[in-house]
Each structure stands twice: as C-alpha cells, then as structure tokens.
C-alpha cells in the first residue's frame, strides 16, 4: 500500500512526524511531498532533522502559498507515484492544494483533523476545512464534536473519531524537548507569544497586538515568523524592552519554551491545543477558534486585536482546577494507520 502525504507548514511537519512512525509500523509506504509553503529552513528542514524522520521524497520548492501553483506541482507527483490514497492535514493552502490534486487525479483523499469548525467564514481556513471535508473519502476527526459536525453537514466520506495526532506528537516529543533545550528563564516567569496569521500581521491589527504585548509586565519571549518580523519593522512598530524576539525556533526549542511558560499568547491553532496539553493557560488573539472545547473549560481565552483586552487576559489567565482529557490519548496515529491498512487490505 502506498500513500502520498502532503505537507507544507510547521504544524503539518509535526503531525506528519507522529503519523509517519505509525505508518511504518503497519508496513505502509509513505511518500511525503513538501510543497514549500514554508520555505525558511527553521520552519521546515529543521523539523526533519530534529524529529528524526526521513526527508520528503519530493520538494516542490515553490516558495509560494498559492494553492493553484501547489496543486500544479503535486499533480505530476501523483501521476508518477500512483498512490492508493492521498493524505492531507489541517486547513492550510497546502491542504487545499493536495485535496484538489487528489480529486483531479481520481485518487481517494483522507483528511486528518476533519470536522473542525470555528463558525467564522471570514477566515480562509474555514472555507478550506469545509471544502476538503466535502471531498475526502476518509475523515479522521479529533473528537465526537467534529464527527457530529460532519454528520450534520452530510459529509459523504467515512467518519473516524481517532483523536488528535498533535497530541501524539506532544506526548512523544515534549519531554525530550525540555531535556535537550534548557531554557534561560525560571519556569512560569515569562509569557510566550507567537503571531503569524495573515489577518494579524498587517495594520491596524498588527499594531494593536504589539501594543497589547507591550503592556504585559512580565518578560515576553516572541519567536517571530519572518513575515511578522518584516511587517513589524516595515510599519515602524517598536516592541518593549521586556520583549525578547527570536527568529523562528525549531519544534523542540519552542516546545521547551512553551511548556514552561506562565501564559501563551498566540493565533496558532496548534499551539492552543499544545498549551492545554502542557497545562499552560492560553490567550488566543482571534475572534474565533476551531478548538472551542479549550475555551469552554476555561483554559483558553479569545480576545480580538485590542491592546487592553490582550493585557488583561494575560494578567488573569489560569488553568481550570479540573482539566478533562481533550482531543485524544496520544494514540491517534496508530488508529489512523489501522484504518488505512484495513481499508486498503488486498489492494
């Protein structure tokens, strides 16, 4: 059995790493295609080195986030490899390009993180989730809520509640991250901030977010995405002296920092979940989130791009007294591999 996995950005490398190990254990041949959506070395190549997984067999090196360009690059790979199935992750433009290329080639599609909805159609990611789920033959959901969403929408694919592959990666890699990457701060004495979504890295929202971060009295560790850093500089925005900026960090470096922070401020989908698994309260700088359970249990606070609201949310952020298990038990990858193996048995 052969699968083509399409990856292109930081969270997808992590998800793919956890799942690749399970696919190997089930003797499934995986061909990884790296679209090049994230082409900075610290956002891509470092993952394969750090996590000890094979490098992608195909590197499109397109240096673009344009779905049509990526779809055009993925198509010839599918024609050459003739896989039994195409696997896509999450809700990025690489996800959309891989899904469209799969359908165009007449190859069944599987979607990991299916059924997630923020309810905010102003987000491009929401449109991607809906479209990819409508195309997929296999829908791997992190929880029953996501599965029920797909049932309400009348999804045609087979629905499987498996848990979250990011939980697998977090449980597998976070202890090693802290051991390999000691932090230069007292645990619990600082805030980690990551801002990268397109809606947040242009004015006026970017300026409001910077103001909010500047109002946080504690040290703030800010690993800046290249575009975020360039736009801060281009807009003439000034970060406070208590804000320590870094270039993009490797996954293990960020896991070490984030898992020992007092609060995480982010617009990342993946980091919201990781914060929960780490036991670190999260402030999400977005008007909506697809990970609504973290908000409902009180571990995650949604704030818009308002300086005062950001600073206030950070000051009062705290984990709930009881922390129910959310999004799986660390064995999602194994369940996905078992489903795929059974689906393709005899082919």
State whether the Cα torsion 132-32-248-216 is positive or negative: positive
- Do 140 and 113 touch, CB atoms closer than 8 A? yes
Catalytic residue chosen out of the listed positions 34, 111, 138, 196: 196
Q: Tokens 């896509």 — which residue?
A: 88
Question: How far is 16 from 112, CA to CA, in rounded Å?
Answer: 10
C-alpha dist (Å) from residue 146 to 16, 218, 222: 20, 37, 32
138 counts as catalytic: no
Whether the Cβ atoms of residue 314 and residue 263 lie closer than 8 Å to each other = yes
Count the neighbouring beta carbons within 10 Å of the beta carbon of residue 172.
15
Supply 88's token pair.
């896509």
DSSP letter string over 282-336? EEEESS--S-HHHHHTTSEEEE-S-HHHHHHHHHH----SS----S-SS-HHHHH
CB of 115 closer than 8 Å to CB of 149:
yes
| Residues designated catalytic | 196
């Amino acid at each position: 059995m052969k699968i083509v996995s399409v990856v292109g950005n930081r969270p997808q490398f992590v998800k793919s790493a956890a799942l690749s190990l399970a696919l190997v254990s089930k003797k499934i041949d995986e061909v990884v295609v790296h679209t090049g959506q994230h082409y900075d070395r610290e956002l891509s190549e470092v993952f394969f080195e750090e996590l000890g997984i094979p490098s992608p067999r195909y590197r499109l090196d397109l240096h673009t986030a344009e779905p049509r360009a990526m779809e055009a690059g993925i198509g010839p790979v599918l024609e050459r490899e003739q896989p039994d199935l195409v696997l896509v992750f999450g809700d990025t433009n690489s996800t959309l390009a891989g899904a469209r290329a799969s359908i165009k080639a007449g190859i069944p599609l599987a979607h990991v993180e299916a059924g997630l909805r923020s309810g905010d159609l102003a987000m491009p990611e929401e449109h991607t989730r809906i479209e990819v789920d409508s195309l997929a033959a296999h829908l791997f959901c992190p929880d029953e809520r996501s599965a029920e969403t797909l049932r309400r929408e009348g999804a045609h694919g087979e629905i499987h509640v498996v848990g979250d592959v990011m939980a697998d990666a977090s449980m597998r890699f976070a202890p090693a991250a802290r051991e390999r990457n000691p932090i230069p701060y007292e645990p619990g004495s600082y805030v980690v901030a990551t801002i990268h979504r397109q809606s947040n890295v242009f004015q006026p929202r970017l300026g409001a977010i910077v103001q909010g971060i500047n109002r946080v009295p504690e040290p703030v560790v800010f690993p800046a995405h290249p575009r975020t850093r360039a736009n801060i500089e281009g807009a003439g925005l000034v970060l406070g002296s208590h804000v320590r900026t870094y270039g993009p960090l490797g996954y293990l470096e960020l896991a070490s920092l984030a898992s020992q922070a007092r609060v995480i401020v982010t617009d990342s989908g993946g980091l919201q979940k990781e914060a929960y698994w780490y036991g670190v309260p999260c402030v999400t700088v977005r008007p909506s989130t697809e990970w609504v359970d973290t908000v409902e249990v009180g571990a995650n606070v949604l704030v818009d791009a308002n300086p005062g609201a950001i600073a206030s949310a950070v000051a009062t952020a705290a984990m709930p007294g009881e922390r129910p298990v959310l999004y799986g038990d660390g064995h999602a990858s194994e369940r996905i591999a078992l489903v795929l193996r059974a689906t393709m048995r005899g082919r």
